[in-house]
Structure 1
Amino acid sequence: MKTLIQKIHIEADYSFACRTYRTPDFETAWHKHVECELILITAGNGTALIGDHIGDYMEGDVFLLNMNLPHWFRKSKNEDIGSAIVVHFKKDFWGEKFLNLPELATIARVLQNENTGIQLTGELQKEIAQFLRRMEQTAGFDRIQLLLTSLQCIGESSEQNIITTAFDGVSSKEENSIIEAVMEYSFKNFLNPISLKEIAAIANMSISTFCRFFKKNIKKSYFDFLKEIRVSHACKLLRESDTPVLAVCYHCGYNSWSHFSKQFKAVKKASPLQYRKQYRVGGKL
């Protein structure tokens, strides 16, 4: 298993990193780093695990992850190509007092909360995506200016969703290995019933110890985690196929339509049919 702490390489001629990560470099399991991360998905789709958030991601999505926020962009299929333009920067790379300047108050507010993640929406998402594409091809002062402009635009806009806040993730390599093993098993088997006894055995723990461990580290119960994986898969089917809504229920590990519909609404704040209709009109729930 990979260690939780990822070391970000920054070239000697730059003060922060901006590069494309493409399969196989795109595949980095549950991890965190001291750098903030601004990421544009340029290919592939799957499930985004960001702090205690579980949701789907697709080409064109843009996320801003503050420092020390555990995350994992997991592809839908192993054979798919994943790719993203990723900016990694430390809050103080421009000097300890730079963000104290009154002119930078908006940017300072964007970066002040550790362990916070946001997803950009609407025109802001498109604008920042363009900045990131230019940033990767730019050097010198213009590169820093593009990053500052991106953060300023994010701070001034309401076109964003806060997806996780104040998430304090696991800290030890041993705990991280257990979390990765549990996640891997869950993603491979979520279409089938999974009991607490079964998943606790993967962690080599008693049921009660596992429940406390998982809630402590992921900030939700295991069955809530499993529910969000299944709903994320349902969203993909509702968006990308013409599978009847009733059949989607049975393709996502549920045996009861009423139970599926209730759990879907709890996560997406809309029924499966409403989700499909709104998405095809052009919105994204």
Structure 2
Amino acid sequence: MKTLIQKIYVEEHHSFACRTYRTPDFETAWHKHLECELILITEGNGTALIGDYIGEYKEGDVYFLQGEVPHWFRKQEKQTIGSAIVIHFLTDFWGDRFLSLPEIKPIAKLLAQNNTGIQLEGDLSHEIATMIRRLESAEGMDRIQLLLNCMLKISLSAEQKVITMACSTTNSSAENSVIEAIIDYSFKHFLNPISLNEIAAITNMSVPAFCRFFKRNIKKSYLDFIKELRIGHACKLLRDTDRAILDICYNSGYNSWANFSKQFKVVLNLTPSQYRRQHKK
């Protein structure tokens, strides 16, 4: 198991890191780092776990994560390729005097939003994706200028949504191994009934101790975590297939239409049929 704290390597002639991570290097499990992260997904799709957020990611998605926000981009299929261009930088690499300039105030405000993760949307997402691709091969002052333009455009745009404001956590390597084991087991079995006794057993904890441990680290209850995994699976089927909604209900870990419909609306504030109409490809 990898440790929770990831060390980011920066070349001597650069002030921040920008490189492509592709399978198998893309498969970094639940982790965090001091650096802020601007990430463009270039291949693959799957589930993004970012702080207390669970949602799908796909090619072309762009995220900005504050330092210390734990995250894991977990591929949909083991045999598929996962790839992303990732920019890592410390908030103070610009220098405090630079961030105090009035022209840089929007960027400074964005960087001050601790424990936050955002996903870019619309034209902003496409524009930042283009600049990230250019930045990967840029050198010298062009790198600084491109990153500065990225952060300025993000800080001034409304085409973004905050997906997490979860507090960061400090875990030992042993605790992180337990978190990874829980998440891995959950992804393999979430379409089947999972009891708290069952999931607590793999951690060698009592049910109350497990519930406290999970809530402290993932910022939500385990039952809510499983619910969001199942609803996310249902959303993918609603968008990508023509299967009957009742069939999707039973293939998403639910054995009751009433419960599925209720939980779907709790998570997305839409009925399954409304979601399909809005998102059908």
Question: Given the two structures, how large is their TM-score scaled by the length of structure 2?
Answer: 0.98
Give the equivalent residue in structure 2 for 1:72.
Answer: 72
Q: Does 1:152 align with 2:117?
A: no
Give the equivalent residue in structure 1 for 2:206.
Answer: 206
Confirm or deny: 8 A CA contact 2:41 2:62 kept in the other structure: yes
Q: Does 1:223 align with 2:223?
A: yes
Confirm or deny: 8 A CA contact 1:4 1:173 kept in the other structure: yes
Unaligned runs of 5+ in 2: none
Cα deviations by residue, 1:237-280 (Å, 9 ceiling, x for unpaired): 11222222111111111101111111111111211111111113
* Distance across 2 between alignment mates of 1:74 and 1:190: 15
Q: Does 1:232 align with 2:232?
A: yes
Which residues of 2 match residues 141-180 of structure 1 at below 5 A?
141-180=141-180
State the one-letter code of the partner of 1:196. Answer: L
State the one-letter code of the partner of 2:9. Answer: H
Confirm or deny: 8 A CA contact 2:19 2:136 kept in the other structure: yes
* Distance across 2 between alignment mates of 1:57 and 1:49: 10
* Distance across 2 between alignment mates of 1:20 and 1:236: 27
State the one-letter code of the partner of 1:82. Answer: G
Please report how far the alpha carbon of residue 17 of structure 1 lies from its aligned counterpart in structure 2 after TM superposition: 0.7
* Distance across 2 between alignment mates of 1:79 and 1:166: 31
Question: Given the two structures, how large is their TM-score scaled by the length of structure 1?
Answer: 0.96
Give the equivalent residue in structure 1 for 2:94.
Answer: 94
Confirm or deny: 8 A CA contact 1:51 1:169 kept in the other structure: no
Please report how far the alpha carbon of residue 170 of structure 1 lies from its aligned counterpart in structure 2 after TM superposition: 4.1
Confirm or deny: 8 A CA contact 2:56 2:232 kept in the other structure: yes
State the one-letter code of the partner of 2:169. Answer: G
Alignment root-mean-square deviation, CA = 1.0
Give the equivalent residue in structure 2 for 1:278.
Answer: 278
SS at match of 1:12: coil
Give the equivalent residue in structure 2 for 1:61.
Answer: 61
State the one-letter code of the partner of 2:229. Answer: I
Confirm or deny: 8 A CA contact 1:40 1:132 kept in the other structure: yes
Q: Does 1:182 align with 2:173?
A: no
State the one-letter code of the partner of 1:175. Answer: E
* Distance across 2 between alignment mates of 1:268 and 1:81: 29
State the one-letter code of the partner of 2:136. Answer: E
SS at match of 2:162: strand
SS at match of 1:97: helix
**Residue identity (%):** 64
SS at match of 1:105: helix
Confirm or deny: 8 A CA contact 2:60 2:129 kept in the other structure: yes
Please report how far the alpha carbon of residue 166 of structure 1 lies from its aligned counterpart in structure 2 after TM superposition: 4.1
